[in-house]
Structure 1
Amino acid sequence: MSGVYKLEIKETQEELKELLAIQKTATGKERVQLLYLLKTGHGQTISQTAEMIGRNRVTLHKWIRQYKADGIEGLLKQKSSPGRPRTIPTWAEKALDKRLHEVQGFNGYQEIVEWLEQNLGVNTCYKTVYKLVYYRLESCPKVPRPKSSKQSQAKVEAFKKTLQTTY
């Protein structure tokens, strides 16, 4: 039959079915599904299989070439984004997180910038530190202010009970 694709798939149907079940990404599932459909014979031609999966036949040919060259590992390999590295390295981020959870804390974000530069040798700007601490670490540089020793705990509790917002 014209258009029937002859591909030697090394994995068994059961292995492909298990691989299909453990895939976390949609692209991984589509790629394993391609191999599964070709192995079981449900997709007799590439065009028919492409229609079943919902991809272009050229894309399927690209996946098959990748499978022939690198095997199943190469086909399922996740691409990493080529972004630039972070200004504050991971080790410095961990050290800062540990320091933020200490009792003394910081007086502000500018103090964190200075601490990073003096103690860890990481030179960065205020905005970067703010985004790291506030959004990524979900922390706050300031520590709670000390309470007065003259403050009565009973009066505080009474105030909290009488304070009701009526909006």
Structure 2
Amino acid sequence: MKRAPSPLSLVLAGCLSLGALLSASAASKPKAKAAEAKGGPGLPAPDYLPEDARALLRKKMARHGQDARDLMFSVTLLRYDVARATAERIAAEPRIDRPQAGSEDEPAAFLPERFFVLQDEVRRRAQAVAAAAGKKDDAALSESYGLLVQTCVSCHSVYLKRE
């Protein structure tokens, strides 16, 4: 007759597994930090933008990446309140103003016009995600989130390729 494992052995096995998992996770964090210091995991720096323009964008996007991850998880897991709050935060982010005539030295002057169009589109689409999350409308939430991500990818493409 085969013996069933005791509760103590199951707890020990679980603790050992969890310890190994946490240890592996902790070991990978320095590698992730090193990758970030070398320019990853974010977008690479495009050649056409001077450093002061890239610094302006880095400042604007500092919280943007975390918001994007939070929104992805909250929409996917149907955490409506978190999705709504995160989408509202994205929609309320300060925008980079279009450069004025004669301001060719401003960092924003180096950005293509399409960047500013997409910046406005992100705001509208994030508002749509927030509204769908507020209504707990799963179909509208997934559709509006998909459109928002489409805008994000377009904006990143413009940033990298200056379309």
What TM-score does the superposition give when structure 1 sets the normalisation length? Answer: 0.25
**Which has the greater radius of gyration?**
1
- Structure with more helix by fraction: 2
* Larger RCO: 1 or 2 (CA < 8 Å, sep 6+): 2
**TM score, norm. by length of structure 2:** 0.25
